Amino acid sequence: MTLAIIGGTGLTQINGLTITGQQSLETPFGNPSADYVFGEMNGKRLVFLARHGNPHRIPPHKINYRANIWGLKQLGVTEIIAVAAVGGIGALMAPGHIAIPDQIIDYSYGREHTFFADDLQHVTHIDFTEPYSPALRKRIIHGAHNSGISITETGTYGCTQGPRLETVSEIKRMAQDGCDLVGMTGMPEAALARELELEYANISVVANWGAGIGEGEITMAEIEKNLEVGMGKAIELLKAITLLPDLTLV
């Protein structure tokens, strides 16, 4: 199995990853967000991609998700751990916390969300009952337990369009729908990985409370401060995952 890490806001590079090379790719769906970076962590080789580009410049609704995922498949990747900055909705989802969602609700629109759109021989419907790989989620949770990192092991990720943050009423609606987290990049990334039969799981790093849950306006200074703490935990979690004996990489 070959593991890829997709880094979101606050994670354009991984401390502790020894870079061994990088590669640009052209895909049938255009150019990925950035070059694919090859590296080693704890003696294990992996592929890293900065979802928003490096430097961070591509907003969530403009990311070429199809090119990003297709390129990883082309490189022989079989597993993807997607790291994402999110807002907290559920009571346990305080800023700086990490959650490993097991469900997702898609509120985004207008995105190129499938590989099965044109020149088809037959219509394809993927099963998306469990949008995140149970086996890969279990490995992430195991890594958290081994490293002593506090996480919430389940949760529902609500994917909004962005790039603006949500209104108080939108967050209230999402809470009523059962969302614990709100982000802008979870879809169609998860579904595209499933279409290419890649194992995919998400590490959500809570950067702020959703609108109306915390006090006052949400500021970028607040988000950046919380991400510095949360992404540090996420990197330690990734290191712990690469130490697991059942994780076989290239």
Annotated binding site for substrate: 184
Q: How many CB atoms lie within 10 A of CB 43?
A: 9
Residue holding tokens 């092991």? 153
Helix (H) or strand (E) holding 142: helix 134-147
Q: Which amino acid is at 140?
A: I
Q: Which residues are annotated as a binding site for phosphate?
A: 9, 51-52, 185
Could you tell me if 83 and 11 are in contact, meaning their C-beta atoms sit under 8 angstroms apart? yes
Query: Alpha-carbon distance 119 to 65, whole Å?
Result: 20
- Of the candidates 112, 105, 102, the residue with the CA atom closest to the CA atom of residue 67: 112
Query: Alpha-carbon distance 238 to 55, whole Å?
Result: 21
Query: Alpha-carbon distance 50 to 71, whole Å?
Result: 13
Helix (H) or strand (E) holding 183: strand 181-183
Q: Which residues are annotated as a binding site?
A: 9, 51-52, 184-185
Q: Hey, which bits of 10-109 come out as E strands?
A: 18-23, 36-41, 44-50, 79-88, 98-99, 103-106
